[in-house]
Amino acid sequence: MTLIQGVSTPGSKQHGSPSAAAGSRIFKTPGGQSKRDKENSSAASDAAGSQASPSKQEFQQLLAGALHLTAEQGARVLAFKHKAPAPPPEHANSMASLYSANLGSAPQRKQHRHIPTTQERILDAPDLVDDYYLNLLDWSSGNQLAIALGPTVYLYNASTGTIEELCSCPAEGEYVTSVSWAADASHLAIGTSSAKVQVWDAARCKQVKELAGHTNRVSSLAWNNAILSSGGRDALVCNFDVRLRKNEARVATLRGHEQEVCGLKWSPNGCQLASGGNDNMLCIWSAGFEQQHCINAHQAAVRALAWCPFQSNLLASGGGTADRHIRFWNSSTGAQLNAIDTGSQVCSLVWSRHEREILSSHGYSKNQLCLWRYPSLVKAAELTGHTGRVLHMVPSPDGSSVVTAGADETLRFWRVFGDAPTKAADKATGAAPIASRTASIR
């Protein structure tokens, strides 16, 4: 480091006093220019400019006049060609540093999950009756599918892939019109074209009860513990207590429709029963079989019904070809909460147990499945594969998948909902999925 004394400029006088000498005594910085030199760079330029040309002096006078400055005031215009140096870190605002250190990262927006849009498995279902008003498919809590093909009911074990015949209608021309599993996964209710309601023990392949009450085909069935409800072409909803003897089993008959009752669903808490008919009516009944609401909002048959798993009084209903709407209802008040025009005949509805979503299956004219987010009703996915109306759709026991049955005489498995977020994967549909795997249900 070099020590400099008595730095002078042209025209200035050298001061010899100790104080003056000490004041001008500084250390040079490693770059060859001292910090003091940088801070005084403008002053040095002004001193050097005292010997400027007459034209430059004239310019400076004009500039000073424009800025209302006088030479007597010794005013100068300073030009800064470089930004002021940044303060050292130790001089930074301590509160700002503390705030930056404690500022958490912005909350991440929830990423939408991947939704598979292709089927995992395909089974042939020959002789599946192409009838919008029937309910020919159900999936038990024991992971068995029941499907009616013409006069015969088959059981498909989704865990093992085995298929067995449960029963067949004995009379010529008679066929199965509806099936529904009881909660115990052991008993299956069957409705027929000859107005019969039967209860079968699936494990023993034995009929344990036959119930009378209808005068025409039984197109819909629904269980509520020991109560079995059935809807028929005779516009009646019959309710049976299967614990009672045959002649005492019918405990209530509901008359709220004028045409075939093609949709029937008990709420998960067992407090309400929803029925939909070919008369475009949606009826809601209490557990005591009193009519609470009779709604005429759809413009076509109401077959698709689904109770929400996360809101007990939220009911979704779907209309036929002339309506095409999914409508959402407050079952306590009967008020419509929302609606969406799907553009196609609505055949079935299934709520997701894991997400706020609802899946719809469709007939004319697109024959597809659509996944909707609720309550925004934004379409999250569209699943295609069936070449005919997707008449039936039921969820798997674990809520991860659905199986559909179409007028193209195929069963298709779709893992559309996925596993519950808090549980490990439990693939109820058996072996690893292969989209091209095909087999026959019989």
Domains of the chain: which residue ranges?
113-132+345-442, 133-255
Q: What is the Cα 349 distance to its own chain's centre?
A: 14
- Residue found under tokens 């469709």: 362
Would you say the C-alpha torsion 123, 419, 390, 283 has a positive or negative sign?
A: positive
Residue 52: the pLDDT is 55
Cα–Cα separations (whole angstroms), residue 98 to 105, 262, 267:
15, 67, 55
Q: Which of 315, 393, 405, 316 is nearest to 123 (CA)?
A: 405
Q: Which of 246, 247, 221, 248 is nearest to 232 (CA)?
A: 221
103-153 pLDDT, tens per residue? Answer: 455 555 555 678 988 999 999 999 999 999 999 999 999 999 999 999 999
Average pLDDT over residues 84-95: 59
160-189 pLDDT, tens per residue? Answer: 999 999 999 999 999 999 999 999 999 999
Q: What is the band of 62 on the pLDDT scale with cuts at 50, 70, 90? A: confident
Q: What is the band of 59 on the pLDDT scale with cuts at 50, 70, 90? A: confident
Q: What is the mean pLDDT of the chain?
A: 83
For the cut 50, the answer to whether the pLDDT of residue 392 exceeds it is: yes
251-271 pLDDT, tens per residue? Answer: 999 999 999 999 999 999 999
For the cut 90, the answer to whether the pLDDT of residue 385 exceeds it is: yes
Q: What is the band of 77 on the pLDDT scale with cuts at 50, 70, 90? A: low
334-346 pLDDT, tens per residue? Answer: 999 999 999 999 9
Average pLDDT over residues 358-369: 95
Distance of alpha carbon 260 from alpha carbon 359, whole angstroms: 25
AA identity, residue 326: I
Residues 6+ apart with CB under 8 A from 356: 310, 373, 374, 375
Considering the entire predicted model, what is its pTM? 0.73
Residue 93: the pLDDT is 59
- Domain 133-255 falls in which CATH fold? Methylamine Dehydrogenase; Chain H (2.130.10)
Residue 1: the pLDDT is 40
Query: Lowest-confidence range among 51-60, 232-241, 378-387?
Result: 51-60
> For every residue of the chain, which 3-state class applies, written as one string?
CCECCCCCCCCCCCCCCHHHHHHCCCECCCCCCCHHHHHCHHHHHHHHHHHCCHHHHHHHHHHHHHCCCCHHHCCCCCCCCCCCCCCCHHHCCHHHHHHHHHCCCCCCCCCCCCCCCCCCEEEECCCCCCCCCCECEEECCCCEEEEEECCEEEEEECCCCCEEEEEECCCCCCCEEEEEECCCCCEEEEEECCCCEEEEECCCCEEEEEECCCCCCEEEEEEECCEEEEEECCCCEEEEECCCCHHHCEEEEECCCCCCEEEEEECCCCCEEEEEECCCCEEEEECCCCEEEEECCCCCCEEEEEECCCCCCEEEEEECCCCCEEEEEECCCCEEEEEEECCCCEEEEEECCCCCEEEEEECCCCCCEEEEECCCCCEEEEECCCCCCEEEEEECCCCCCEEEEECCCEEEEECCCCCCCCCCCCCCCCCCCCCCCEEECC
208-253 pLDDT, tens per residue? Answer: 999 999 999 999 999 999 999 999 999 999 999 999 998 899 999 9
AA identity, residue 84: A
Average pLDDT over residues 8-25: 41
275-334 pLDDT, tens per residue? Answer: 999 999 999 999 999 999 999 999 999 999 999 999 999 999 999 999 999 999 999 999
What residues does 273 pair with on adjacent strands? 266, 285
* Most confident listed range (64-68, 198-202, 363-367, 438-442): 198-202
Cα–Cα separations (whole angstroms), residue 240 to 30, 143, 229, 257, 259:
100, 25, 6, 19, 21
Domains 113-132+345-442 and 133-255 share a fold: yes
User: Nearest-5° angle of CA 351, CA 354, CA 355?
Assistant: 70
Retrieve residue 266's tokens.
């008990």
Q: What is the band of 10 on the pLDDT scale with cuts at 50, 70, 90? A: very low
Average pLDDT over residues 2-12: 39
Average pLDDT over residues 86-113: 55
For the cut 60, the answer to whether the pLDDT of residue 50 exceeds it is: no
More confident residue, 15 or 136: 136
Q: What is the band of 75 on the pLDDT scale with cuts at 50, 70, 90? A: low
Residue 365: the pLDDT is 84
CATH match for 113-132+345-442 among 2.60.40.10, 2.130.10.10, 2.40.160.20, 3.40.50.300: 2.130.10.10
Distance of alpha carbon 238 from alpha carbon 259, whole angstroms: 14
Distance of alpha carbon 216 from alpha carbon 230, whole angstroms: 12
Q: Work out the percent of the chain whose per-residue pLDDT is above 70.
A: 73
Residue 425: the pLDDT is 44
Q: What is the band of 435 on the pLDDT scale with cuts at 50, 70, 90? A: very low
Terminal Cα distance for the chain, rounded: 100
For the cut 90, the answer to whether the pLDDT of residue 8 exceeds it is: no
For the cut 70, the answer to whether the pLDDT of residue 6 exceeds it is: no
396-429 pLDDT, tens per residue? Answer: 999 999 999 999 999 999 999 988 776 544 444 4
